[in-house]
Amino acid sequence: MSENNSKHAVVTGASTGIGAATVRKLRSEGWHVVAVARRADRLERLAEETGALPFAADITKDDDVAALARFVAENGGLDTLINIAGGARGADKVGEARNDDWEWMFQANVMGTMKMTKAFLPALRANRRGTVLNLTSTAGLVAYEGGAGYNAAKFAQHALTNALRLEEVENNLRVIEIAPGLVHTEEFALNRLGGDAAAAEKIYQGVAEPLTPEDVAEVVGYAVGLAHHINLDQIVIRPVAQAANHKLIRA
């Protein structure tokens, strides 16, 4: 099975967690990578470590995305767009929903993915062997109590991904969705729960082996590294202890 030999990727959400792990994974396999996130200091450290090209940008802002597209074009272009950036805020039920949290989640998960994809579609279409990989979540496949805002955002991102695959197949664009379950990252639960470290750690308490960012990055690297005619439409990845969103084994 031949590999994807066109290895120029843009990775968002690269300052931490799955995004940073994905940059490390791709660089270890010889990819040229532009690493994108809001926090320039973290990107610089990642660039020093891996050799990736850093670009500080807020993917929800049109001017930032346009500047990023110019930067990528000036630095070798791309054949692979990996949309990792996103996240959750709050665990409120619908009756206690906070407008700001919902708006942030839709901006980060849906609008950011749309703006990045729209900005790079001309280059990906011209390439004729382009790939878009969107990191969604099992929260975008099955709803749960206290997750409505994140569910809604990730369901929307999941739908966007499916529509994109149908719309761009005539341009030979490969569109991949990876939907992780429980992943123990540095910041996801902490940010979701307003910085409450004790509450965030309880999310993972007693779970013998939750997924790590490196686990997910391994799957991302595999999916985008396959020969281009192979499309892994949707990959659901969970720890063995999580048989479903509602069934998690704790010691």
Catalytically active residues are: 150
Residue 38 pairs with which residues in a beta bridge? none
User: 140, 115, 165: which is closest to 12 by C-alpha?
Assistant: 115
- Compute the C-alpha angle 220/245/199, nearest 5°: 95
Per DSSP, helices labelled H in the chain are: 17-28, 40-50, 62-74, 99-106, 112-127, 148-168, 188-192, 197-202, 213-225
Amino acid present at 26 = L
Cα–chain center distance at 184: 15
Q: How many whole angstroms separate alpha carbon 150 and alpha carbon 87?
A: 8
Q: How many whole angstroms separate alpha carbon 20 and alpha carbon 39?
A: 12
Structure tokens belonging to residue 94: 């619908």
User: 73, 166, 83, 71: which is closest to 127 by C-alpha?
Assistant: 73
Q: How many whole angstroms separate alpha carbon 2 and alpha carbon 135?
A: 24
Q: Please state, in angstroms and as integers, the Cα–Cα distance from residue 135 to each residue in 40, 41, 94, 246, following that order.
A: 22, 24, 24, 21
